[in-house]
């Protein structure tokens, strides 16, 4: 197949491009390098079946493809809040452009949605049927509401044009190819621990998250996309092992042996969700999938990656 991956030079996109190439597909990677990194796709450039197109999806594009994975969008709070209007344009204008492309080419299309559609949730763990609690005018809204609107667009293109859409709600994912300045908690703590800098815990560190290793996510995304049963979703894709940010810091300090880093507490960003854990019973049932990488194993692989690219 000829497969388009938008946001293909980013963290998740680069792993997805690699896997799709390994499966023998032609891969078109579209990215405007807002947060993407050429180093992530450099190893793929040798493959004749890989093509890189520098393009901003807020503008239309014309390609002939069989499948689309729409991943383009900055995912880290510091990056999506840097230019909130562009973040909204990417989620909304970008979705309209890419859905239009899917409509013309009759391509099946996957949307990388997010656990952020649940906002600061009152239901725990979060099930797909929960509508969420999002502040529509806060600093996270450009991302959360953009992604919620993108889900609406995907559903309306399905209902109105019978488009073959698949929506995955991705929970916190980590692994190699995250940018050292990405700003998300796992990469921050690992880089800080490796360089003996302060480990910056926001708030008291008692907020929770559930972290999924990248390989598990890639397996799930490809499964939902290629399921013969029409799995529109939305479907939670995550690891349901929940821990506090304090526990994450302690685990990373233990795994990065001999770090001289100390923990420092900084103010909690506005609207930071207090708890997050996916209910993944739908994915387990429909995809016959479950995350296989435990936290220490995934963190160890991620630490090995960062050791190669950061120096004290
Ligand atoms: P990332 O920032 O590493 O990658 C995003 C990629 O999209 C980058 O390469 C960036 O340059 C590109 N991009 C941004 N705006 C673009 C535009 N207008 N046109 C073309 N390219 C554009 O983030 P990631 O972690 O790889 O996330 C990928 C997708 O998965 C995002 O849609 C994100 O919302 C979603 N997601 C990620 C997580 C996670 O924990 N990593 C969780 C939930 C959802
Ligand atoms: N966080 C932290 N220190 C950091 C970066 C993040 O304590 O250096 C916290 C953040 O406030 C949040 C959690 O870690 O409670 C996860 O943050 P991240 O930005 O990785 O993702 P989020 O789930 O908030 O989108």
Is the pTM for the entire model greater than 0.85? yes
The finding on whether 40 has its CB within 6 A of some atom of ligand 1 is no
163 lines ligand 1 (CB under 6 A): no
Q: What is the pLDDT of residues 150-179, one digit of tens each?
A: 999 999 999 999 999 999 999 999 999 999
Determine whether the shortest distance from the Cβ of 95 to ligand 1 is under 6 A. no
Helix (H/G/I), strand (E/B), else coil: 139: coil
Do residues 66 and 5 touch, judged by C-beta distance below 8 A? no
Atom number of ligand 1 nearest to Cα 172: 40
Nearest ligand, CA of residue 14? 1
Domain span at residue 258 reads: 185-208+241-276+293-309
- Mean pLDDT throughout 268-292? 97
Q: Is the pLDDT of residue 312 over 80?
A: no
Asked if 69 and 3 touch (Cβ cutoff 8 Å), the reply is yes
> What are the start-end ranges of the H helices in 122-267?
141-161, 185-194, 214-226, 245-255
Of 25, 33, 39, 131, the residue nearest 69 (C-alpha): 25
* CATH assignment at residue 88: 3.40.50.720
Q: What is the CATH number of the domain that holds 265?
A: 3.90.25.10
Instruction: Tally the C-alpha atoms within 13 A of residue 44's C-alpha that lie toward its C-beta.
Output: 27
Burial class (CB in 10 A: 0-12, 13-18, 19+), 46: exposed
Do 143 and 209 meet the contact criterion of CB atoms below 8 Å apart?
A: no
Report which ligand 2 atom has the smallest distance to the Cα of 249: 7
Active-site residue numbers? 143
- For the record, the structure tokens of 9 come out as 């030079």
Q: Is 210 in the pocket of ligand 2 (CB under 6 A)?
A: no
The verdict on 152 and 267 lying in the same domain is no
In angstroms, the CA 115 to CA 69 distance is: 18
**Range list of H helices, the chain:** 11-22, 38-41, 77-80, 84-105, 141-161, 185-194, 214-226, 245-255, 281-287, 295-309
Mean pLDDT computed over 181-205: 97
Task: Check: CB of residue 68 under 8 Å from CB of residue 29.
Answer: no
Percentage of the residues of the chain whose pLDDT score is greater than 90: 99
Ligand 1 centroid – CA 230 distance (Å): 25
Regarding whether 50 and 84 lie in a shared domain, the answer is yes
Over the stretch 37-67, which tens digit does the pLDDT of each residue have?
A: 999 999 999 999 999 999 999 999 999 999 9
* Domain annotation covers residue 288: no
In this structure, the answer to whether residues 224 and 303 fall within a common structural domain is no
What distance in Å separates the CA atoms of residue 34 and residue 172, rounded to the nearest whole number?
Answer: 20
Q: Which protein residue's CA is at the shortest distance from atom 14 of ligand 2?
A: 185
Closest protein CA for atom 6 of ligand 2: 185
Residue with CA closest to ligand 2 atom 4: 185
Q: Are residue 114 and residue 153 in the same domain, yes or no?
A: yes
Q: Would you say residue 244 has pLDDT above 70?
A: yes
Cα 184 to middle of ligand 2, angstroms: 6
Residue with CA nearest ligand 2 atom 11: 202
How many angstroms is it from 188 CA to the middle of ligand 2?
9
Same domain (yes/no): 18, 130: yes
> What pLDDT, on a 0 to 100 scale, did the predictor assign at position 71?
98
Which residue of 8, 14, 74 sits with most ligand 1 atoms within 8 Å of its CB, as the best mutation to test the pocket?
74
Distance from residue 55's CA to the centre of ligand 2 (Å): 29
Alpha-helix residue ranges (DSSP H) falling in 61-114: 77-80, 84-105
Question: Where does the pLDDT of residue 311 fall: very low under 50, low under 70, confident under 90, or very high at 90 and above?
Answer: confident
Q: Which two tokens stand for residue 24?
A: 């023998």
In a domain, 102, yes or no: yes
Q: Is residue 51 part of a domain?
A: yes
Cis peptide upstream of residue 125 (ω within 30 degrees of 0): yes
What is the CA(158)–ligand 2 centre distance, in A?
A: 34
Number of domains in the chain: 2
């Amino acid at each position: 197949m000829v497969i388009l991956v938008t946001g293909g030079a980013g963290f998740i996109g680069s792993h997805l491009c690699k896997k799709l190439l390994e499966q023998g597909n032609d891969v078109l990677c579209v990215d405007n390098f807002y947060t993407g990194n050429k180093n992530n796709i450099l190893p793929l450039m040798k493959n004749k079946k890989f093509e890189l197109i520098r393009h901003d999806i807020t503008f239309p594009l014309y390609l002939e493809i069989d499948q689309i994975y729409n991943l383009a969008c900055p995912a880290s709070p510091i990056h999506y809040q840097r230019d909130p209007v562009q973040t909204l344009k990417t989620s909304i204008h970008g979705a309209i452009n890419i859905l239009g492309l899917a409509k013309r080419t009759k391509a099946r299309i996957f949307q990388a949605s997010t656990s952020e559609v649940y906002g600061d949730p009152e239901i725990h763990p979060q099930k797909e049927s929960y509508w969420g609690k999002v502040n529509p005018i806060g600093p996270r809204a450009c991302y959360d509401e953009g992604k919620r609107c993108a889900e609406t667009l995907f559903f309306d293109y399905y209902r109105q044009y019978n488009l073959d859409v698949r929506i995955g709600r991705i929970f916190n994912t980590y692994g190699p190819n995250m940018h050292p300045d990405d700003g998300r908690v796992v990469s921050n703590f690992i880089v800080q621990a490796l360089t003996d800098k302060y480990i910056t815990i926001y708030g008291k560190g008692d907020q929770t998250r559930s972290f999924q290793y990248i390989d598990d996510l890639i397996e799930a995304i490809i499964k939902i996309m290629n399921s013969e049963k029409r799995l529109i979703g939305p479907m939670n894709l995550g690891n349901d092992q929940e821990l506090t940010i304090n526990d994450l810091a302690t685990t990373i300090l233990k795994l990065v042996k001999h770090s001289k880093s100390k923990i420092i507490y900084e103010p909690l960003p506005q609207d930071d969700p207090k708890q997050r854990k996916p209910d993944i019973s739908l994915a387990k049932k429909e995809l016959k999938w479950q995350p296989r990488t435990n936290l220490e194993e995934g963190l160890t692989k991620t630490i090995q990656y960062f050791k190669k690219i950061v120096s004290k």
